Amino acid sequence: MEHILEEAKSISAEIAEWRRHLHQTPELGLETPKTSAYIVQELKKMGVEDIRERVGGWGVAALVKGEKPGKTLAIRADCDALPIKEETGLPFASKNGLMHACGHDAHTAMALGAAKLLLAHKAELAGTVKFIFQPAEENVQGAKAMIDDGVMENPHVDALIGLHTGCLWKEVGNGEIGVRFGSLMAAVDRFVVTFKGKGGHGATPHLAVDPVTMTATAVLELQTILSRELSPLDAAVLTVGRIEGGKSFNIIPESCLIEGTVRTLNPSTRAFVEERLRAVVSRVADGMRGEAEVEYESGPPPLINDTDFTRTFQAFAARLAGAEKVKEIGEPTMGGEDVAYFLEMVPGTFFVHGSCAPEKGQVYPHHNPKFDVDEETFPLGSALFAGFALTWQQ
């Protein structure tokens, strides 16, 4: 596979053009009909015949079948954007009020590049490569929707690989590759607690049951779950991001609610925090003569890279790009990624693709209206996908 990176570089203009088209026409969530149509159009142009559309909504699954027997590797690329007005000033900037401010346009373009490379190497390819073009990563709905619609079957997926581009981890510079063994990103859960009491006049609180006081007490006490009930070495975050209750300065309302998120890296910690959250808010409400109704929504699980599979990828990446370009990520992030649903089902790895060039002004973080990535790094991503697909079973 010593030539796969050079082959990827030879189609760099095409990869960039795919990215630019997608960048100009961003779509949100599960509603990505134009994005999906473009992906299908380009796959057909390059000669991919086995394409399944409308998977879990507007997802696309495409197969490149090798001429040798073997297993099925999935390559996942997310393709949705964000409700952000772009401020990059790029000639191909979005003009519809939405923006690819997280690099998903690049992810999709690099996966399309890998498909084109693999079509040229079908004779050497063992098994099948299934490309999963997934909408709705940003609202963590797309992966589960595609799984529920059978994307991991026909043929059955044996392993999966994906990447995130940009400058998410300081260890991974432009044109470098980041790997991590085990937990890379956190589980993402959401909760809403509604405290119910008895409304009344602010001048006579003893005649009311005050849900605002319940709420204030609970917000503080919830933090003791992390500070006093978990080991300091067990990473977890509990953030209350919304408080809503009351409409007047002198009226005690009937109810008050809080909404927030819990992030954990360990499945057992995840279950423990949910259990304790429910217990704490109920105890606070009971102690103040009120009630607490809890809605707890479990999102993607922790993103856990399979150790053996990741070691295989790390060795391949070092051969392809040079060992000095492959960095081991020291710490996970408490951000989440719904590729974790796939990696919960099959072994695989989610790696980091460094693509921010400070000399080009690419210094802005993800989800920023000025976010941009270096197109010169795209061939590396395509080559990593395609080359690994050609060698992982050897």
**How much is the pTM?**
0.94
1 pLDDT tier (thresholds 50, 70, 90)? low
Secondary structure in 3-state letters for the chain: CCCHHHHHHHCHHHHHHHHHHHHHCCCECCCCHHHHHHHHHHHHHHCCCEEEEEECCCEEEEEEECCEEEEEEEEEEECCEECCCCCCCCCCCCCCCCECCCCHHHHHHHHHHHHHHHHCCCCCCEEEEEEEEECCCCCCCHHHHHHHCCCCCCCCCCEEEEEEEECCCCCCCCCCEEECCEEEECEEEEEEEEEECECEECCCHHHCECHHHHHHHHHHHHHHHHHHHCCCCCCEEEEEEEEECCCCCCEECCEEEEEEEEEECCHHHHHHHHHHHHHHHHHHHHHCCCEEEEEEEECCCCEEECHHHHHHHHHHHHHHHCHHHEEECCCCECCCCCHHHHHHHCCEEEEEEECCCHHHCCCCCCCCCCCCCCHHHHHHHHHHHHHHHHHCCC
Average pLDDT taken over every residue of the chain: 97
- Selecting among 7, 27, 42, 137, the annotated active-site residue is 137
On the question of pLDDT at 86 being above 70, the answer is: yes
5 pLDDT tier (thresholds 50, 70, 90)? very high
**331 is an active site residue:** no
Q: Domain limits of the chain?
A: 4-184+302-391, 187-298
pLDDT of residue 309: 98
User: For the domain with range 4-184+302-391, which CATH number is right: 3.30.450.30, 3.40.630.10, 3.10.20.520, 3.30.70.1150?
Assistant: 3.40.630.10
Q: What percent of the chain has pLDDT over 70?
A: 100
On the question of pLDDT at 115 being above 80, the answer is: yes
- The arithmetic mean of pLDDT across residues 256-271, rounded, is 97
**274 is an active site residue:** no
pLDDT of residue 52: 98
pLDDT of residue 198: 98
- The arithmetic mean of pLDDT across residues 96-102, rounded, is 98
pLDDT of residue 42: 98
- Selecting among 80, 176, 189, 337, the annotated active-site residue is 80
On the question of pLDDT at 265 being above 90, the answer is: yes
On the question of pLDDT at 2 being above 80, the answer is: no
Read off the pLDDT of residues 348-363 as tens digits, 9 standing for 90 and up. 999 999 999 999 999 9
Class of domain 187-298: alpha beta
